[in-house]
Amino acid sequence: MVTTIQLNEDVKKSLERMKQVRETYEDVIARIISQLNEQKRKHEELMIEGCKEMAEESLKITKEFEQADAEIDWEWTED
Distance CA 55, CA 27 (A): 42
pLDDT of residue 48: 98
**7 in helix, strand or coil?**
coil
Which pLDDT value is given to residue 34? 98
Say what the pLDDT of residue 23 is: 96
* Per-residue model confidence as pLDDT tens digits over 47-70: 999 999 999 999 999 999 999 888
Give yes or no for a contact between 54 and 62, defined as CB atoms under 8 angstroms apart. no
Split at pLDDT 50, 70, 90, the class of 76 is: confident
Q: Is 31 within 8 Å of 19 (Cβ atoms)? A: no
Nearest CA-CA partner of 27 in 38, 16, 39: 16
Q: What is the pLDDT of residues 13-52, one digit of tens each?
A: 999 999 999 999 999 999 999 999 999 999 999 999 999 9
Domain boundaries, the chain: 38-67
